[in-house]
Amino acid sequence: MIRVSGLYKKYDHAEFPSVDHLSFSFPEGCIAGLLGPNGAGKTTTISILSGLIKKYSGEVEVMGMDVKKHAEEIKGKLGIVPQQIALYLNLSCRENLRYYGRLYGIPPITLGPLIEQLLKRFGLQEHGDKQIRHYSGGMKRRANIIASLLNQPALLILDEPTAGVDVQSRNMILRFLKEYNEEGNSILYTSHLLDEAEALCQEVLIIDQGQGVIQGSPAKLIQEHQTDNLENLFLKLTGFRVRD
């Protein structure tokens, strides 16, 4: 699903690299978690994977294709859910989704039913004609996820999809991710919520200061390091210093 080798990224004028010789891979068909404290380099890494950041060194393959050489092809098969809401606040949810659907070139005859099916799946069917600016945080987040699903991506990448949402929305999002994976799709998501990642992911990669700390299945890592959960392992490996 993803293969990264020697990835290095330093923003212009930055003193330190944000991603510092990072190498990892995730197999196809899994739910993978990219975990790390604030500023670890999670968003930078997924921005590179999804083609939003083009200036970097190292090798990055997504779905078997080099990101620099096959950007367009990858984009068509990829769904990206940014942490910031990427919807027009003055349009209704349906209007937003129709707009994004047209950008993907989905014919109206397919798009209409697809939008309704996704609205239903995320509990938004009744609220589809409301302007996004009247949505709660959790509703905005769910609508944002729907927008990234219109091209029915084989790989879905989400940046902190459950950060700061209410418990019910969080539950719905996590249940969706599990189901979407069971339908044969791959998922990569970032989070700083370790208990959530432990329950959801088959594979996790913990990074800190742009560097890989550890990778593996949560159960195996916990057992190998003789800790009782991922959070304790995380603290053991990344230390107790507070990151701002």
18 binds, among ligand ADP, Mg ion, none (CB under 5 to 8 A by kind): ligand ADP
Select the residue interacting with ligand ADP from 2, 40, 111, 221 (CB under 6 A): 40
Decide if residue 43 touches Mg ion (CB under 5 A).
Answer: yes
Q: Are 218 and 230 in contact (CB under 8 A)?
A: yes
Residue 223 tokens read as 């057992």
User: How far apart, in whole angstroms, are the C-alpha atoms of residue 31 and residue 155?
Assistant: 10
User: How far apart, in whole angstroms, are the C-alpha atoms of residue 67 and residue 74?
Assistant: 7
Select the residue interacting with ligand ADP from 1, 4, 36, 186 (CB under 6 A): 36
Residue 10 tokens read as 């330093």
Select the residue interacting with ligand ADP from 41, 82, 101, 153 (CB under 6 A): 41
Select the residue interacting with ligand ADP from 5, 6, 11, 136 (CB under 6 A): 11
Tell me how far apart the terminal alpha carbons of the chain are, to the nearest angstrom.
32
∠ CA 63-116-85, nearest 5°, is 60
Decide if residue 44 touches ligand ADP (CB under 6 A).
Answer: yes
Binders of ligand ADP: how many residues, by CB under 6 A? Answer: 11
Decide if residue 38 touches ligand ADP (CB under 6 A).
Answer: yes
50 binds, among Mg ion, ligand ADP, none (CB under 5 to 8 A by kind): none
Between β-strands 203-208 and 186-191, what pairing exists: parallel, antiparallel or unpaired? unpaired
44 binds, among Mg ion, ligand ADP, none (CB under 5 to 8 A by kind): ligand ADP
User: How far apart, in whole angstroms, are the C-alpha atoms of residue 222 and residue 52?
Assistant: 34
- The distance of closest approach from Cβ of residue 212 to ligand ADP in the complex, given in angstroms and rounded to an integer, is 13
**DSSP assignments along 43-89, one per residue:** HHHHHHHTTS----EEEEEETTEETTTSHHHHHHHEEEE-SS--S-T
With respect to Mg ion, which residue has the nearer C-beta, 40 or 118?
40
40 binds, among ligand ADP, Mg ion, none (CB under 5 to 8 A by kind): ligand ADP
With respect to ligand ADP, which residue has the nearer C-beta, 111 or 201?
201
User: Where does this chain bind ligand ADP (CB under 6 A)?
Assistant: 11, 14, 18, 36, 38-44
Contact footprint for Mg ion (CB under 5 A): 42-43
